[in-house]
Every structure is written in C-alpha cells, then in structure tokens.
Amino acid sequence: MKEPKVEVGILFEPQIEFVLFGAYQVNGKELTGKQVATFNDGKILWKGRLYDELLFAPTNEQTDAFELLDVTIGLNFHWERKEDQRFQGALKIIVEGQKLTGINVIAIEDYLTSVISSEMSATASLELLKAHAVISRSWLLAQIQKNKEITDTHTTYSACTETKEELIRWYDREDHTRFDVCADDHCQRYQGITRASTEIVRQAIATTRGQVLSSDGKICDARFSKCCGGAFEEFEYCWENIKYPYLAKQRDSKTTTELPDLRREAEADKWIRTSPEAFCNTKDKKILSQVLNNYDQETTDFYRWKVSYTQEELTELILKRSGINYGQILDLIPIERGTSGRLVKLKIIGSKRILIIGKELEIRRTLSASHLYSSAFVVDKSEIINGVPKIFTLIGAGWGHGVGLCQIGAAVMGEEGYAYDEILLHYYIGAAIEKLYE
C-alpha cells in the first residue's frame, strides 16, 4: 500500500483570503502571493471569473506553503478564536451551501505531524507521542474507509431518532461528504505548520510510520478524548449502536482494576462525587503542560468538576441551545448511563414541556453555552420554592466522550515509563499493532 493523501476541511466562509508562498500551479498557470476567492451565486469568483472548483497545487511539496487568513479554531468551545494558519500541500476550494470550503490536500504522514503538535504539546513524552501517532493514523484511515463504503454502497447512518417523548441525536464525521475530515475537535485538531513541530514529534511519526491498530482484520476506529474520568466509555453509548470489542468497559488503572457498574444510578452517583484512583486523576502541572496546549490549560478542573446555574440562567440557556421552550426547568432526571457513568439519556422536565434527550454530546450541547465538559454528571437542586428549584448544580467527571485513549491518562502512563504499545493496548483492549505501508 502506498502512503495515502487526506483531504482536510479547514475554512468555511463566504470569502476565503489566502497567501501562496512559493510557486503554485492552477489551471496550467503558475502564481504566488495574496489571493481572494468569493462565493458568487453558487460559484467561486476568483480573479474576475467563475469556477465550480479550484485546485492550487504546490510546485515543490517540501518548500511551498499557503496561509489561510482568519481561520476559526475551537469552534463552539469556550476558547474559540480566529488565527491565520499556514499549510503544506495543495489548497482545494469548493462550494458547499452558501459558502466556500477551503480544503488542504496533504500526505497522511505530514498531516499527522501537525495533528500531534496541534492535539497536544510537542513537549510530551516520546512514548505518548508515538501512541498518539498510531491512533490518529488509525482513526483517520478507518474514517476514510468508512466514508468510501458509505459512498460505494449508498449506506446511510441515522444520526437522529425523534418522537414526542424523545430526541436522541449523535454527531459523527459523516457530516463531511466532500472531504475526509475537518480540522477541529469534531474530527482531529489540525493546524497545519502553524504549530511549530519538534524533533521529538517527527521522531514519533517516523518511528511508527504506517502503523495502525487493528481488530478482526479491520483498522480500529481509534477514538480518543481528553480525560475519561477514571472509566472508559463504550462506543455504542456515544454514537451508532455498534459494539467494538476493543472499545470496552475498563478502569483507567493498572493497580485497581475493579470497576462498579456505573450504568446503575447509585453507583454512578457515588463514583462521580468521589475521586477514585486512575491514571488521569492528576494535577501534575508538568504532565498536563505536556498534553495540553496553552488554550486547553485554561481548563483546570476536568477529572472532577462543578458548574452551577440559576433557574433563569438554565431556562434561558436550554431555550437558546435547543430551540425548545420547556418553560421553567423543574428537574433534570438521569434515564440511561453508559459504562463510564456518562449520561446517554436525560429527561428535562419543564413547566411547559417534558422531553428525553441524548446522546452524550447532545446533552453537553444543551446544558452549556459551548460544550459541557462531559455528560458524566449528577444534579443537585437547591432553594426549591413551590416545586421550582432556584439553583441547579452539576457535579461531573471527565472531559470529552471518554471512548478509547484518554490523553491525560496516557500522558501519565508515558511519564511512568510505559512503552507506547503498552499504552495503546491498555486503552484499546485486545487490539493489535500492524504496519500498513513503508
């Protein structure tokens, strides 16, 4: 197998401004410098002419680069911001809806060099970086294969079931049909060569070149999140109802392996309100600084956390985020939890409407102006007058969906001397590591 290329959606705007550094080829002509492409009546307007698609290909893939201006990073997260970003490879511009999409076409190993530097600090331990290289490569190739199967077979994956009583929705990368993956946390955080790579990152990529996780002859769908909260979640509780044997229930520890059944409310309540021993139960700033970029370090509490809303704040928030008028919020009742204690279904009881929502990301989006850290939480109500609470306090565990590799737990394992294959096989149970290409 030859090293594949990947198409990464970077920018989605009515107008895309970019600068070409080096000689780029487009429509048989060579050009360089600043360019502006604008959406115009379903077409791309560039240099006074209309196009359906444009491809700016570098003459020299090693030295040429392009810069996209005002790229949004951290979309819908608390640290969302814009920055100029620089990329190697080709730039493709297409029309999607009423906007233009800027796509970076790049070799997978070059893409991974950026992902590892973008997802975490380039100063992380070598073993952690090697582990992350393998899972990022695995996840990407699994998604490309899945997307190809969907295209070839016209298969559709339902991402929403809705009745009068329930709204169950999940979010996955099937949202992208015109490119392989996006550049934000929805897929894998990718910021081109904007984040300076280091020799240790390049070493991690080179050492593991072509390596993927596999199970039953297929590349693993190697999910990962920031902090599992001490227990792994299973795939089926976050996305489609598919059971992957390598994404199974387990405690994030080698010293304590027993894990209560966190699908039971009493056990989940006890687990979330305490701080059980786990690899990811750390406040070691040295370790955290290796895993988290500067903007991620704006979050300090993630193994266990707390957020409070007044009645007015919660009512307004849920209306704004869901578009559903529940009236005053009277209660938030857990209906179903996954193996990490994360809520899969939550009943919102309002004075005007009662509805069960899910899965985990829909719950997180509904109960936060950006994203709640996780759906592993319990709810305390206080100052209840005539059945209406004045204060709702959410006490929670973990950061992200908790499926697959836990980045903070893996960072601790790397610091404790575990090799990258030991880290991988801790988080992906029963999987194997194989080399797909040289």
Domain residue limits, the chain: 5-204, 222-249+256-406
CA dihedral 354, 364, 13, 140 (to 10 degrees): -130
Residue 388 to residue 328: CA distance in whole angstroms = 8
Beta bridge partners of 9: 103, 182
Does residue 157 surpass a pLDDT of 60?
no
Other C-beta atoms within 10 Å of 328: how many?
Answer: 15
Can you tell me the distance from the alpha carbon of 3 to that of 411, in angstroms, rounded to the nearest whole number? 28
Residue written as token pair 């960072």: 411
pLDDT band at 299 (very low <50, low <70, confident <90, very high): low
Least confident among 20-24, 51-55, 110-114:
110-114
Q: pLDDT of 226-262, one tens digit each?
A: 999 999 999 999 999 999 999 999 999 999 999 999 9
Give how far the C-alpha of residue 9 lies from the chain's centroid of Cα atoms, to the nearest Å. 14
Across the range 301-312, mean pLDDT stands at 95
Full-model pTM: 0.85
CA distance 211 to 402: 23
Q: Which residues of 94-133 are buried (b: 16+ CB within 10 A; e: fewer)?
A: bbeeeebbbbbbbebbbbbbbbbbbbbbbebbebbbbbbb
369: its two tokens: 């102006």
Q: Are 428 and 405 in contact (CB under 8 A)?
A: yes
Question: pLDDT confidence of 175, banded at 50, 70, 90?
Answer: low
| Matching residue, tokens 């009236």 | 327
SS3 326: coil
Neighbours of 435 (CB within 10 A): 11
Torsion, CA 351, CA 354, CA 357, CA 362, rounded to 10: -30
Ramachandran quadrant class, 430 (left: phi over 0; alpha: psi -120 to 50; beta: rest): left
Cβ-based burial of 68 (10 A; exposed 0-12, middle 13-18, buried ≥19): buried
Percent of the chain residues past pLDDT 90, beyond the cut: 76
Distance (Å, whole) CA 355 – CA 326: 9
295 pLDDT exceeds 50? no
Distance CA 362, CA 167 (A): 9
